[in-house]
Amino acid sequence: MKAIFPPIHRAGWPFIALFALVTWILFMMSPHWGWGGLVLTCWCIYFFRNPHRVTPSEEGLVISPADGMVTKIEKVLPPKELEWSQTPLTRVSIFLNVFDVHVTRMPVTGEVVKTLYHPGKFFNASLDKASEYNERNSVLVKTPSGQEVLVVQIAGLIARRILSDASVGQQVRAGDLFGIIRFGSRVDVYFPEGVTPKVLEGQYMVGGETVMGEMAPQRLKRK
């Protein structure tokens, strides 16, 4: 039953209630309008679904943090406001359309060492400039091997609200739910230096399940 009727993320209930109220009012005014409102209410319920996912447990894997299509794989500098790496890193951008699952999950197991919200604009999330100019929330996770992976929630043309429950010092596991972006968005993953993604542009990701890459344990430097 959970596969057919997945749970609803708690952030969606106020919107579902609002859509249902408007639908009831529309039915009172006109059955034709009411059926239109019912379709939108069903879509709202569908949008906020939070399906169960089975996350691979092998150590060192980078798991997709969201459902959606890989639109870009390139080496770029991470968001400057983070004051993190000054070296270009491989970034994989995942675009979420309004029919994709919009909850976001942790890509790796480790400790949250930094979070930062950055206000910005609302360009179409599929555009390259969205990573630099759009409203976003960054979460940096340090793995047990000492490598750091950055995941960035980015608002889109329709998305106007980013929710994140991640906090500094929090211990997380790959696949753990940590937030949601409302109504169309994008999620960027920055890989550690030397780690090559195992996905391609145009490939569809399943949040919490698709393996995006594998990190080899860091070797200790000899003195």
pLDDT tens digit sequence for 210-223: 999 998 765 444 44
pLDDT at 159: 52
| Cβ(156)–Cβ(182) below 8 Å | no
Query: Which of 118, 110, 117, 116 has the alpha carbon at shortest distance from 170?
Result: 110
| pLDDT over 50 at 32, yes or no | yes
Active site residues: 185
pLDDT digits (tens, 9 = 90+) for 140-194: 999 998 999 999 999 876 656 788 999 999 999 999 999 988 766 889 999 999 8
Q: Is the pLDDT of residue 119 over 70?
A: yes
pTM: 0.84
Q: Kindly tell me if the per-residue pLDDT of 3 is higher than 80.
A: no
Per-residue pLDDT band at 197 (split at 50, 70, 90): very high
What does the alpha-carbon distance between residue 68 and residue 81 come to, in Å, rounded to a whole number? 26
What pLDDT, on the 0 to 100 scale, is given for residue 219?
A: 47
